[in-house]
Amino acid sequence: MIRSFWAVFCLLFAVLVSVVPAGGLVIENADLSQAEVNLLFAMREYTLTYNGYADRLPGWVTGPFANEEVNLHVNSPDGVLVIGITFHDRKVVQFDAKSRSNPIATVTTDSSTVESVMHSDQPFDAFRAAMRNGTVTIEGNNLVGKLRVGMILFGLWVLDVLGL
């Protein structure tokens, strides 16, 4: 009896440790398809890569959302997966499958674009290309959000004009 209790306890602990590091992953919508769950976990793992490079990205890209919340809407054949992202000091500190109640901006894209950015050797360039072709859009949700999104769009436009 005690042996099986410890086996169950160790198994539960291992699952929690493997799923909950760095702020945890909260899934509010239990109706997610397997493809959405897979994408969600892949994106969550990618945040570790993003956080590792966040300090190297231009300040005008990461700065406007340095200490803000953003909602990401990922369109797929299964519907729209809404992901709430919280940034602190230009890094992702919380990433959940539930929307934020007062996000400064909403980013909309599709699952194939998310995957292409995550698997790119140059994710910033892949993101810029997606912005250019309209598969990623960013909308400010309040005046400050609109101003900050405008700053990002202006910076991307300058890069395009300069051919960088």
Question: What is the chain's length?
Answer: 164
Mean pLDDT of 73-80: 85
Please give the pLDDT value at position 22: 44
Q: How far apart are CA 144 and CA 63, in angstroms?
A: 13
Question: Which one, of 73, 70, 79, lies nearest residue 35 by Cα?
Answer: 79
Average pLDDT of the residues of the chain: 78
pLDDT above 80: residue 3: no
Question: Among 20-24, 123-127, 156-160, where is mean pLDDT lowest?
Answer: 20-24
Q: How far apart are CA 46 and CA 105, in angstroms?
A: 20
Mean pLDDT of 109-113: 91
Specify which residues 20 forms β-bridges with.
none
The phi, psi pair for 138, rounded to 5°, reads -125, 130
Is 48 strand, coil or helix? Answer: helix
pLDDT range class, residue 1, cuts 50, 70, 90:
very low
Please give the pLDDT value at position 148: 87
Mean pLDDT of 119-132: 87
Work out the angle between the directed axes of helices 123-133 and 143-162 (0-180°, nearest 10): 100
Is 127 strand, coil or helix? Answer: helix
Domains of the chain: 22-162 (3.30.1050.10)
Specify which residues 106 forms β-bridges with.
71, 139
Q: Read off the pLDDT of residues 11-66 as tens digits, 9 standing for 90 and up.
A: 333 333 333 344 444 455 557 778 888 888 888 888 888 888 888 877 777 777 78
